[in-house]
Structure formats: C-alpha cells, structure tokens
Amino acid sequence: MELGSVLNFGLELMSGLFMVLVSAVVLTLIYFYIADVTQTKQAIRRNYPIVGRFRYLFEKQGEFFRQYFFAMDREEMPFNRAERSWVYRASKNIDRTIAFGSTRNLSVPGSILFLNCAFPTLKEDAVPPGAVTIGPYCAKPYKTVSIFHISGMSYGAISKPAIKALGKGAAAAGCWLNTGEGGVSPYHLESGCDLVYQIGTAKYGVCDGSGHLSDQKLKEVADLEAVKMFEIKLAQGAKPGKGGILPARKVTEEVAAIRGISVGKASISPNGHPDIRSASDLLDMIQRIRSVTGKPVGFKTVLGNIEWLQQLFDEIENRGIQSAPDFFTLDSADGGSGAAPQPLMDDVGLPLTESLPVLTNLLRERGLNERIKVIASGKLITPSKVAWALAVGADFVVSARGFMFSLGCIQAMQCNRDTCPTGITTHNPRLQQGLDPADKAARVANYHKYIVYGVGLIAHSCGVKEPRLLRRSHVRVVTENGRTVDLDEFYRSDR
C-alpha cells in the first residue's frame, strides 16, 4: 500500500473515531439534560441542567483541595496544616525545624505558653520518664515508662494493614495500643505490642450472646499475654451519650466473626451499658472484671455533668481505696475519629481544656490522684499539647488521630464511608494496597519518638529533668485582654 493511501486511511480512521467520541459526548449531555430537568430531588440541577452538577462536584472536591490551596497554616479544622505537617515530618524522620518565626498567633485567648527558666536542664542532667505502675492492687499490675500511647481504634473502623502497622509501631516504640470496642483481632496479637482491651457498651468479644458480660470470655481474653489492661468505655469524644457506630459496608465476614454480629449489618452499640446505671454499678463492674482477669481495669468517658464524680468518689471512700478504678481515660468533646451524628460531634460534652483540670483537681482534693491514673485523650497530637496535659495533672496521653496522621491520613474526612483514600479506614482492597504495614510501622514509631523528644525539649526548657515533673506553674494561658495568667488562676472557679 502506498504511503499516501496509508495516510488517508489513518486520517479517515481518526476522523471516524473523533465523530464517535463527539456523538458519545453529545448523547451523554442529552441524557444528563433530560435526567436533570425531569428529576425533582435537587432544585439546582432542575433549574440549571448539566451546569448544576458542577456545584456538587466542587463541593465534594473542596474537602480535598481546601487544605492545600485555600486554608492558611493555622486556620483549618479539626487539625490545621501546621499541626499535620509536624506529624508528617516527625513520622518520616525528616527535619522538624522551622525558620523566620512562628505562624502561630500568640494573642488568641486560650493559647498556652510555657515558661522557660533562666537555667534550663543540661543534657547530662536530663533523665527519661520514670516507670508508672497502674493497678497496684491487681494480681498482675501493669508498668510502663511511656508517656504517650495509641488510643482506641477498632478493627472494622480501621483496616487490617492499619492495625498491623499500629501494632508493630507500638511494639517498636514501647507503648500500648488500645483495641477499641471491636475486640482483639489476630492482627493485634501478631505485632507483639502491649494491648488495652476496650469493653464497649455492646461488649464485643466478651459478650455471652444475650448482651451480657461473659466471665468465661473475659478470662479467655485475659489469658492473652499481650492484653495488659481492660478499659470500660462509657462514652467517647466523637459522640458522648451515643454508642459505637460501624456502617454496614464495613462489617465484613472477619469483622463480624470477631464481634459476634451479622455480616453486612450496621453495628450499632447501645447508648450506655445496661448493667451500669450508677457510680455504684460502675465500681461493681470494675471489681468484677478485675477479679476475673487479675489485671488493671479503668474506664473512659467524656465529662459533662460532674456531680456523679462526687458520688463515685464517695462510694470509693465507703468501699476502700482498693475498690477505685485503676485509671480514668478522659476524652474530649473535640475528640472523634469514629462515625458520629453531627449534633453530638459538635455540641455535646466538655473539651479537655476544661474537663482535665476539673478532674485532676477533684482527684487531688479527695486524695485519689496517686491511686487513679489519669489518661488524657483528645486532639493532643503535638509535643506542646502533650506537655500541657502532663502539667495539668495527666499521667499519660493517648491519641488516635495523631497516629492516623503518622500512617498517612490526609484528613479527607471519609472515615465513616469506607472510601478512605489512604487505606486506613477502608476495607476496599484496592485502597488498602497503598498502606504498607512495614513502612508505616516505622513511621508510627518515629512519631512516638519525636513526641516524647519534643515534650522533653519543653520540660528541659522549663528547668525540669523529665516530662512528668512539669507542673501548672510552668504554664500560662492568654486571656481575653491579651494578658497571660498561670494555669491555677485560669482554672479557678471564681474567675
């Protein structure tokens, strides 16, 4: 065939393909036009067919692009770019220094400022955090030196590779991993890290089949060497007063088997424990689990009404110090990696900045601050916030979303939809393939390392030898008039 004929044939073929493509586009637009003007659910599409669809496209894509192109470093919620960037750099073990001054506005009321001393701690005088024992009255107390740990994230809410990465990272870092209310999976156990087994209102994994706690299943879990403590979840920051929510699309066969529920059916936990309706009931449950397992037992909640705390402490005083919870995990109203109704996520419960000092003050007043260890939770993802919690009186800090960022979370806000683009909160195999457990485990360990290192920097600047020696006298808070006051003054009830 001559060259000219070949060229003519090629041009005719391309022309034909172009016409097919144009016809397909035209037919598609006609279809969308007819579909838009005849539907009655969306007024924008009905009034502005085809063009109106872009509104929904831009609204959806805005979730992803806002943080990159439009939001300033310190203005985005729930975590701003400066916070996320620090976590990413720490996790990757790259340069965490900045230049030319902070982008943080130091005049905003509520801002925390640490007081450096004239004679900071020298490197040779610094010491690592000391070991803390939880559950001294237990048959098997738990001892740890780490000040920072991984908060509750259930298998099901997050993916298999995410659990594996968190577990291996926790083992390397020497911190614990809270299982969340979804029970313990094989992926938790294979990592070799210490586990805190969370018992939610549905009692997944330790339920007798009729909604009640099973002593036999409790014993089976307690026999696992990796499980060091048990945490009764009364409430969590994402949804105070509402039980756990796992959408039906995330209830796979394996998740269902571990939880003891039906495949493909939404997992909705009760709002509260049917067998815990008072402070007395709570102490009864704590003692029951502690007796069966021999291990430390505490509880997690968000503070709202605090009158029940006085009743709890009165009951402890009547029963004796050994009856007290071994720890109290205090979540913040601004916590929340899990699916939750927006009214609860936005408007219920006290933030940690108010509830943590209330709790630690009450514990000191009642002489229980040594007996009951306080674990602070809720948006504490940077060294300064962890240091603040320790100064206010927490013994430990836990984080879920901080460690999610270390896994690569981009704050896409897709946690409840099984469409997480980074593979952390989805069971979609295609999306999970981007999350390599070995690589991300190293990032989890790095993040933990530099949190502890950063808290140490602050502590040494304040003149103390290790982070747990930070006190309220080392911190001041910016008030409404722009002046600062010390923490005790700021938290005084008569201000």
Structure-token match 């320790």, residue found: 390
Each residue's pLDDT tens digit, 331-389: 987 766 666 667 666 667 788 999 999 999 999 999 999 999 999 998 899 999 999 99
Given a cut of 50, whether residue 494 has pLDDT beyond it is no
Between 387 and 109, whose confidence is greater?
A: 387
Between 72 and 281, whose confidence is greater?
A: 281
Q: How far apart are CA 397 and CA 352, in angstroms?
A: 12
Given a cut of 80, whether residue 149 has pLDDT beyond it is yes
Given a cut of 70, whether residue 68 has pLDDT beyond it is no
Q: Does the domain at residues 123-490 carry the CATH identifier 3.30.70.270?
A: no
Structure-token match 């393909």, residue found: 17
**Is 268 within 8 Å of 243 (Cβ atoms)?**
yes
Each residue's pLDDT tens digit, 183-242: 999 999 999 999 999 999 889 989 887 878 999 999 999 999 999 999 999 987 666 666
Over range 450-479, report the average pLDDT.
95
Given a cut of 90, whether residue 48 has pLDDT beyond it is no
Q: How far apart are CA 278 and CA 451, in angstroms?
A: 37
Determine the pLDDT at residue 17. Answer: 82
Structure tokens at 188: 């938790």
Structure-token match 């750099």, residue found: 89
Determine the pLDDT at residue 287. Answer: 97
| pLDDT band of 249, cuts 50, 70, 90 | confident
Q: Which residues contact 3 (CB under 8 A, 6 or more apart)?
A: none
| Structural domain spans, the chain | 3-70, 123-490
What angle separates helix 160-173 from helix 437-461, to the nearest 10 degrees? 40
Helix (H) or strand (E) holding 197: strand 194-199
